[in-house]
């Protein structure tokens, strides 16, 4: 990879996401408490990195300003198209514009490398986890006892909720066996799905 390719790459996968997360999180500063109180996992996922050190990021962004600006310009174009469609939702083509943006997002996220840099999709098993001490640990232990390797783990839990959700990513060939085993152990599965890249 040439230096300019590297600079563009890190702008795309690291520097622009940092700015986008920070800009989105900044919308919360003056939002009413009642509105912020509606926050769920989606907001937490998309703003997690907004808590990064501003001084460090000013230096990083300044050192790679041109590639970051190039990608932000393209993102602004995409945003303008979606914004125009939402301002005129009944205009011919508006729903298609929004749908195409969402589909492109699906296609893009499918390209993000998984564990060990593998560019593949895993099967996802969504397990309901009671909000009680030790329950998440028990789930992870029992997955290990079944001899299945977790490729990824995502947790979703809102404050005050009686249950949380653990999305377990496994190789597709292990998904059915693990789902059946977990149900046999008394776990409640919300969904079990998987697709190949």
What is the C-alpha to C-alpha distance for residues 7 and 3, in angstroms, rounded to an integer?
6
Residue 194, pLDDT > 50, answer no
Residue 164, pLDDT > 70, answer yes
pLDDT digits (tens, 9 = 90+) for 12-38: 999 999 999 999 999 999 999 999 998
Q: What is the CA radius of gyration of the chain?
A: 20
pLDDT digits (tens, 9 = 90+) for 136-158: 999 999 999 999 999 888 888 77
Residue % of the chain over a pLDDT of 90: 70
Q: Are 110 and 152 in contact (CB under 8 A)?
A: no
Least Cα distance to 125 among 111, 108, 110, 142 occurs for: 142
Residue 119, pLDDT > 50, answer no
pLDDT digits (tens, 9 = 90+) for 39-74: 888 898 899 999 999 999 999 999 999 999 999 999
Least Cα distance to 142 among 181, 189, 190, 193 occurs for: 181
Q: How many CB atoms lie within 10 A of CB 167?
A: 15
- What order of strands is seen across the sheet that includes strand 188-193? 152-156, 163-170, 123-130, 188-193
Residue 195, pLDDT > 50, answer no
What's the pLDDT score for residue 120? 62
What's the pLDDT score for residue 42? 87
What domains sit in the chain, N to C, each tagged with a CATH number?
3-110 (1.10.3660.10), 117-193 (3.30.70.980)
DSSP 117: G
Residue % of the chain over a pLDDT of 70: 91
Residue 115, pLDDT > 60, answer no
What is the average pLDDT across 110-126? 71
């Amino acid at each position: 990879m040439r230096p300019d390719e590297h600079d563009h790459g890190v702008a795309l996968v690291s520097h622009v996401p940092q700015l986008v997360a920070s800009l989105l999180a900044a919308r919360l500063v003056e939002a009413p408490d009642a509105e912020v109180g509606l926050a769920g996992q989606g907001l937490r996922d998309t703003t997690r990195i907004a808590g990064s050190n501003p001084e460090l990021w000013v230096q990083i962004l300044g050192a790679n300003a041109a590639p970051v600006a190039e990608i932000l310009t393209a993102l602004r174009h995409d945003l303008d198209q979606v914004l125009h469609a939402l301002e005129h939702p009944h205009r011919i083509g508006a729903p298609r514009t929004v749908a195409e943006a969402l589909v492109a997002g699906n296609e893009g996220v499918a390209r993000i490398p998984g564990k060990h840099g593998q560019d593949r999709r895993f099967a996802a098993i969504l397990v309901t986890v009671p909000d009680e001490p030790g329950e998440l640990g028990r789930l992870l232990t029992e997955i290990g006892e079944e001899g299945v390797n977790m490729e990824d783990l995502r947790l979703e839990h809102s404050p005050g909720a009686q249950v949380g959700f653990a999305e377990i990513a496994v190789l597709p060939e292990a998904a059915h066996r693990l789902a059946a085993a977990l149900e046999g152990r008394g776990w409640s599965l919300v969904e079990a799905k998987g697709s190949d890249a």
